[in-house]
Amino acid sequence: MLRYIARRLLLLIPVILGVALITFTMLYFSPGDPAQMTLGEQAGAEQLEQFRELHGLNDGFFVRFFNYVKNAVLHQDLGLSYRNRQSVFAEVALRFPTTLKLAGLGVLVAVAMGIPIGIISATKQYSLFDSISMIFALVGVSMPNFWQGMLMIIFFSVYLGWFPPSGFTNFNQMVLPSLTIGTSTAAIITRMTRSSMLEVIRQDYIRTARAKGQKESKVITKHALGNAMIPIVTVIGLQFGYLLGGAVLTESIFAIPGVGRLMVDAIKMKDFPIVQGGVLFIAVTFSLVNLIVDILYAFLDPRVRSQYR
């Protein structure tokens, strides 16, 4: 197992390099002058030049990329933000816990809603409950997230006054964003749970369990669920990974200082080191989440366990 993890961690290196190269290339060729963007429309030519010199923007593509990688490798230094000259690493790391919390809570809500609904609707296939929960799931995926967020704010903050419309420091503030993210993710998890359960409950070993005289509820929880979990865990992992950078819209609506928003702002302001660093952070975390999911497989499934050697 340890060897497997070590191998997977090693595999991160090319991925990180690739991600760095792609973002770097994209940013390099994107139009607009970071100097102008950072210093503002009123900045003079001299200052612009000074800025470019300072951040090495006058060097060629390869020199810049090489320097970037060199600094990252030798000094664990992802550069400084153009705008406030803070270490990119520190800036991103500062926002990261919030993003993790948001993604985590969202996924938690989604799991708490999606898995039970998915199970029930699978065991009661074609029932009214099944239809209703599938429609719920469809509505969940169909509704643009930011719209849903706004409607929730109007309903829960303005009319009911239950939860504050923005921020992410105390529990009350976390409710609406987590629900916004949670419902759309729940929709995906519900569907996956349902189809995975439907697949599993057709299996012979479920019949075997029934033939032993086992209670139906136990058959579902003890025999079916465990086996249905693998694709569900995959989806949960994917969704969690996706939310790390993909919750930008929710972050904006609810004024949550997460990495996604940091990066969107940075993209707009051409604060390339931040974009670059943020993407790297997300990519690494995404890969780590994938690794964790794979390790989870091993816990869920002894067949996989025996392969991680």
Partner 1 sequence: SPAPAGDDPAEPAGEEPAEEGGEEATEPADEDAVVFVAQGSDAVTLDPHGQNDQASSRVRVQMFDTLLMQTKDLEYVPLLATEWTQVDDLTIEFKLREGVKWHNGEDFTADDVVYSLRRAIESPSVGQIVNMINPDKIEKVDDLTVRVGTDEPFGPLLAHLSHPAISMVNEKAVTDAGDNVDITPVGTGPYKLKNWARGDYVELERNDDYWGEPAKTKYITFRNVSENANRTIELETGGVHIAYDIAPNDVSKIEDNADLTLVRDANFSTTYIGFNASKEPFDKPEVRQAINHAVNMDEIVEAVYFGVGNKAAGPLGSNVAFANQDLEPYEYNPELAKEMLAEAGYPDGFDLVIWTNDNQVRQDIAEIVQNQLQQIGINASMEVLEWGSYLANTAAGEHDMFILGWTTVTGDADYGLYALFHSSQFGDAGNRTFYKNDRVDELLDIGRTSVVEADRAAAYQEVQEIIREDAPWIFTWNGEDLVGTSNKISGFELHPAGHYRLHNVVLGQ
Partner 2 sequence: MAKNVATASASAPVVADKKRNQWKEVWRRLKQNKMAMLGLGILVFMVIIALSADLLFPKGFDDQMISRRFQLPNSEYWFGTDNLGRGILDRMVHGARVSLSIGLFAVTISIVFGGLLGAMAGFYGGKVDNIIMRSLDVLLAIPSILLAISIVSALGGGLFNVMLAVGISSIPGYARIVRASVITLKGQEFIEAARAIGASDKRIILRHIIPNALAPIIVQGTLGVAGAILSAAGLSFIGLGLAPPNPEWGAMLSGGRQFIRDHWPMTLFPGLAIMITIFALNLLGDGLRDALDPKLRN
Partner 3 sequence: MSKVMLEARGLTKYFDVPGGKLHAVDHVDFVIHEGETLGLVGESGCGKSTTGRLLLRLLEPTEGEVWFDGENITTMPLKDFRKYRSQMQIVFQDPYASLNPRMSLSEIIEEPLIINRIHNNAADRAKRVRELMDTVGLAQRLLNVYPHELDGGRRQRIGIARALALKPRFIVQDEPVSALDVSIQAQILNLMDDLQDEFKLTYLFISHDLSVVKHVSDRIVVMYLGVIVEMAESQDLFDRREHPYTQALLSALPVPSVDIETRPILLKGEISSPINPPDACRFAGRCPYKQELCDREEPKLREIHPGHWVACHFAGNLVQTEDIIVGGQVVAAEEGEDIDIQELARQEVAPEEDILTEEAAEVEPEDIIEVEEAKSEETIITK
Residue 195 sits in the site that holds partner 1 (CB under 8 A): no
Which of the listed partners (partner 1, partner 3, partner 2, none) does 304 bind, with a CB threshold of 5 to 8 Å by partner kind? partner 3
Indicate which of partner 2, partner 1, partner 3, none lies near residue 244 (CB less than 5 to 8 Å, by partner kind).
Answer: partner 2
Taking CB under 8 A as the rule, does residue 2 contact partner 3?
no
Please state, in angstroms and rounded to a whole number, the distance separating the CA atoms of residues 112 and 53.
53
Q: Which is nearer to partner 2, 147 or 205 (CB)?
A: 147
Q: Which of 145, 227, 285, 287 binds partner 3 (CB under 8 A)?
A: 145
Q: Which of 69, 83, 71 is nearest to 37 (CA)?
A: 83
> Would you count residue 291 as binding partner 3 (CB under 8 A)?
no
Site string for partner 1, 157-176 (x = CB under 8 A): xx--x--xxxxxx-------
Amino acid at 110: A
- 217 token code pair: 């509820």
Contacts of 193 (CB under 8 A, 6+ apart): 114, 115, 117, 118, 119, 122, 228, 232
3-class secondary structure, 212: coil
Fill in the DSSP letter of residue 219.
I
29 binds partner 2 (CB under 8 A): yes
> Segment 175-194, which members bind partner 3 (CB under 8 A)?
184, 188, 191-192
Contact residue for partner 1 among 95, 191, 194, 223 (CB under 8 A): 95
Task: Between 164 and 241, name the residue whose CB sits nearer to partner 1.
Answer: 164
- The contact mask relative to partner 3 for 44-73 (x = CB under 8 A, - = no) is ------------------------------
Q: Which residues, 233 to 292, sit near partner 2 by CB under 8 A?
A: 242, 244-246, 248-249, 252, 260, 263-264, 267-268, 275, 279, 282-283, 286-287
Binding status of residue 276 toward partner 1 by CB under 8 A = no
User: Which pairs from 143-146 meet CB under 8 Å and 24+ separation?
Assistant: 143/184, 145/180, 145/181, 145/184, 145/249, 145/250, 146/249, 146/250, 146/252, 146/253
Please identify which residue in 5, 100, 141, 206 interacts with partner 3, judged by CB under 8 A.
141
- Identity of the residue, 91 or 185, whose beta carbon is nearer to partner 1 in the bound complex: 91
CB 228 within 8 A of CB 300: no
H or E stretch including 70? helix 61-75
Q: How far is 169 from 158, CA to CA, in rounded Å?
A: 20
Selected binder of partner 3 within 36, 50, 195, 203 (CB under 8 A): 195
Concatenated DSSP letters of 1-44:
-HHHHHHHHHHHHHHHHHHHHHHHHHHHHS-S-HHHHHH-TT--
Residues in the site for partner 3, rule: CB under 8 A?
141, 144-145, 184, 188, 191-192, 195, 230-231, 234-235, 238-239, 242, 246, 249, 294, 297, 303-304, 306-308
